[in-house]
A and B are shown apart, each in its own frame.
Chain A
Amino acid sequence: MFGKVLIANRGEIACRVIRALRELDVRSVAVYSDADSIAKHVRMADEAIRIGEAASSDSYLRVDRIIDAARTSQAEAIHPGYGFLSESEALRIACDEAGIVFIGPSVEALRAMGSKIQAREAMTAAGVPVVPGTVEPISSVEDVVQAAKSVGYPVLLKASAGGGGKGMRLVLDPDDVVGAYEACTREAESAFGDGAVYIERAIQNPRHIEIQVLADGHGNVVHLFERECSVQRRHQKVVEEAPAANLSAKTRDAMGQVAVTAAKAIGYEGAGTVEFLVDDQENFYFLEMNTRLQVEHPVTELVTGVDLVRAQLRVADGQELPFGQDDLSIRGHAIEVRLYAEDPSQGFLPSPGMLLRYRPPAGPGIRVDDGVSEGDEVSAHYDPMVAKIIVFGDDRQHAIERMRAALLELRVGGIRTNVDLLRTILDAPAFVSGTYTTGLIGTLDTLGPPSLAEGDRRRLAAIAALLHQRKHGQRVAAGGRSNGSPWLVEGRERALHRDPGGKRWA
Chain B
Amino acid sequence: MGVIVRMNDGGEDMVCDVLRDGPGEALVRVDDEIVTLTLREANDQVLIVEGDDGQHVIHWMTKRDGYELLDGAVGVVAEVQDERDTWLGVGGVGGGAGTIKSQMPGKVVSIKVEVGQSVQKGDTLLSIEAMKMENEVVSPGDGVVRSVNVEAGSSVEAGEALLVLGEVGDE
Contacts and interface: CB of A to CB of B under 8 A. Distances in A.
A466 B33 CA distance: 15
Contacts of A479: 131, 133, 135
B74 interface: yes
Interface footprint category on A? 35 or more
Contacts of B62: 471
Give the interface SS of chain B, mostly helix, strand, loop or mixed.
strand
A469 B28 CA distance: 10
A496 B9 contact: no
Given A460-B76, A462-B35, A464-B80, A356 B68 contact: yes
B73 A408 contact: yes
A497 interface: yes
Contacts, number: 189
A503 interface: no
B9 A457 contact: yes
Interface string A462-506: 111111111111001011100111111111111111000000000
Interface in A166-210: none
Interface stretch (A121-129, A268-276, A409-417, A434-442): A409-417
B16 interface: yes
Interface in B42-58: 45, 47, 49, 51, 56, 58
Nearest to B33: A458
Given A357-B61, A496-B129, A464 B78 contact: yes
Interface of B: 1-3, 5, 7-11, 14, 16-21, 26, 28, 30-31, 33, 35, 37, 45, 47, 49, 51, 56, 58-62, 66-76, 78, 80, 82-84, 100-104, 127-140
Interface of A: 345, 356-357, 359, 407-408, 410-414, 419, 423, 448-452, 456-473, 476, 478-480, 483-497
8 contacts: A413-B70, A460-B71, A461-B35, A464-B66, A467-B60, A467-B67, A491-B134, A491-B138
Given A411-B59, A450-B9, A462-B26, 20 more contacts: A357-B59, A357-B70, A407-B73, A410-B73, A450-B8, A457-B9, A458-B35, A460-B76, A462-B30, A464-B16, A465-B3, A465-B5, A468-B66, A472-B82, A478-B135, A479-B131, A484-B1, A488-B83, A493-B135, A496-B129
